[in-house]
Structure 1
């Protein structure tokens, strides 16, 4: 363990000067960090919900009526307060990493306007999420506001993944690497998985893990919405298998085939977790693991799309964005 920390420390420290004097390598590392922290805040948000800590800090922007940090409160468990406050603190980590990406993108030479635009999404998104989080608290964890809170995080994660992908390639005109019909099939996966995430949010908003006993729930039948969610899963898995098969028979680039195979594997693992948690009456740990799996499915889906075309190597493109 100590050896791993010793190896990671120099790499982490090398990122700091890379903010002001960025290179393609440090830019990619900051982009990867942005993806990681966005996944982290989605998962910790799920932890807040499954531990019943949604109102661990019952006010906003303060944690309690008279303190920005947790203090002893007769009606709130210290654990719940710590979990909720920890999730709030992680927002600052997302903001710091996002600002580092933005500064790096603005300082990079030659400047890439597309990277600057994508980098802006993180700090703006954190600000929007902070304001919306206040609404979530003030509405006593209304499932609509909680659902939108999650979907905003998914949008920020998508922007981070696109930022990472664009930081690994040039800015030339896209050159297709597969047949147009296959590219269309790959693109169709994005809205399909987005719909899957929305369906999952509805299931979550109907299920037992509300974040607090005082929170309301969607007035849907849990079995019905779970079946609809499962139906969308079948569509997504079917599209992924069709894409993988098409890539294989047309001898598409290895990177595209590997990305599609990885996506299928993640989807199958996520499906197993989903069925197990359903038949075990939604245990908290598996619910959190399922949320983590949803971020992996989303990341892998977006990654597939970028492997279906090429925009040249980083640094060989024109300055203008597409």
Structure 2
């Protein structure tokens, strides 16, 4: 015989429910992470104060973007002839940190150069947030800490090198090194992004060892391509200012050398892509190689177009953007050829992920 609950007349069951506890247990969908807060500002603060793997990777990717962005805007300063828009460093003019009328510099050039200097603070802020997020993770991962710490240290070094660029009147060597230091920072930021989604166990290759070696050879060739591009830029017409010096090289010869390295890079990429498909490598590795080949071909179109159109400033800027994208895509290929034991969610994990484990 089933017992039925007796409810008095006039009883409001919505206010005073009758019966035992609900049989349905909470699921992960019922648990709200701190980063799911309705207020976007609070959500932003919690993304690094109570970091999860997802938010940590988000900040690492933000650092990749801002470091690539300032490398491109730096090229924009050069192609607009604003390299000495602020003729002194760290002040913009001898008497002011802010742009001020100067008899030998146009205000437009001054604002362009000063705007690029201001972007340094944005890049530094993102780097500092990455360090804070790593420090707030529990358990703390030393492998991430040193990668994150490279960012503010490298950005400060870049700022000091920028002062050297100005003091040497845009010497092509110092200008070229300015860009190459940025590529090193982008590599550190990308490794932080990749490692944030992995564990700290030994790296395990997911392809044949020879394919992994081919990936490293490809990355080295891409870096050599960037160096050759810097030499071409230091020899070409866009010096950043009429007072800047140039490399005393034959522009035709260095442009041909640059093109030859392009052929090597594209050939290595195609060989790696073909080998990955033949060996039935994991899909992420194949997709990364295919994406790299795509951006290389697009970059080649831009490069040849700017060459035949006498190197217009807009295409030079697009070419620098393409160079940073090619570098990031090559880094993605290398990190897709290995994996590490993924992080679990043990007791004492980061505050946000511990909540999800309830």
Separation of aligned partners in 2, 1:287 and 1:254: 34
Bigger shift: residues 69-78 or 88-97: 69-78
| Alignment partner of 1:209 is 2:232 | no
Matches within 5 A, 1:110-125: 110-125=139-154
Length-normalised TM-score, structure 2: 0.84
- Cα deviation for residue 13 of structure 1 reads 5.6
Match of 2:253 among 202, 221, 224: 224
Query: Closer, same or farther in 2 for the Cα pair 1:129/1:259, shift >3 Å?
Result: same
Greater percentage in helix: 1
| Pairing partner for 2:92 from 46, 51, 63 | 63
**Structure 1 counterpart SS, 2:97:** coil
Distance between the aligned counterparts of 2:39 and 2:274, measured in 1? 42
Gaps of 5+ in 1: 1-8, 318-322
Residue of structure 1 aligned with 2:317, choices 264, 269, 288: 288
Q: Which moved more, 1:69-78 or 1:204-213?
A: 69-78
In structure 1, how many angstroms separate the alpha carbons of the residues matched to 2:39 and 2:302?
A: 37
Contact kept? 1:277, 1:287, Cα under 8 Å: yes
Out of 247, 250, 253, the residue aligned to residue 276 of structure 2 is: 247
**Partner residue in 1 for 2:183:** 154
Relative to the length of structure 1, the TM-score reads 0.93
> Equivalents in 2 of 1:82, 1:65: separation in Å?
16
Shift of 1:173: 1.5
Q: 2: CA distance between counterparts of 1:27 and 1:315?
A: 15
Corresponding position: 1:53 with 2:82: yes
Q: 2:57 & 2:136 partners in 1: Cα distance?
A: 14
Task: Give the superposition deviation at 1:160.
Answer: 0.7
Correspondence 1:1-322 to 2 at 5 A? 14-315=43-344
User: Deviations 1:158-191 (Å, cap 9, x if unpaired)?
Assistant: 1111111111222221121111111111111111
Contact 1:15-1:29 within 8 A present in 2 as well: no
Contact map agreement 1:98 1:123 (CA 8 A) in 2: yes
**Number of positions where the alignment pairs a residue of Structure 1 with one of Structure 2:** 310
Q: Contact 1:170/1:316 (CA < 8 Å) preserved in 2?
A: no
Indicate the residue corresponding to 2:350 in structure 1.
Answer: none
Q: 1:194 & 1:15 partners in 2: Cα distance?
A: 35
Which one has the largest radius of gyration? 2
Secondary structure of the equivalent of 1:171? coil
Tell me the alpha carbon deviations over residues 4-55 of structure 1, each in whole angstroms, 9 at most, x when there is no partner. Answer: xxxxx96676232222221111111110110110011001001000000000
8 A Cα contact 1:140 1:215, kept in partner: yes
C-alpha displacement of 1:141: 0.3
Instruction: Please say if residues 248 and 257 of structure 1, whose CA atoms lie closer than 8 Å, have aligned partners that are also in contact.
Output: yes
Cα 1:59/1:264, change in 2 over 3 Å: same
For 1:48-107, what per-residue CA distance to the aligned partner results, in whole angstroms no more than 9, with x for missing partners?
Answer: 000000000000000000110111222211111111001100000110000000011111
Asked whether the 8 Å contact 1:167–1:314 carries over to 2, the reply is: no
CA pair 42-12 structure 1, distance change in 2 beyond 3 A: farther
Shift of 1:313: 1.9
Aligned to 2:8: none
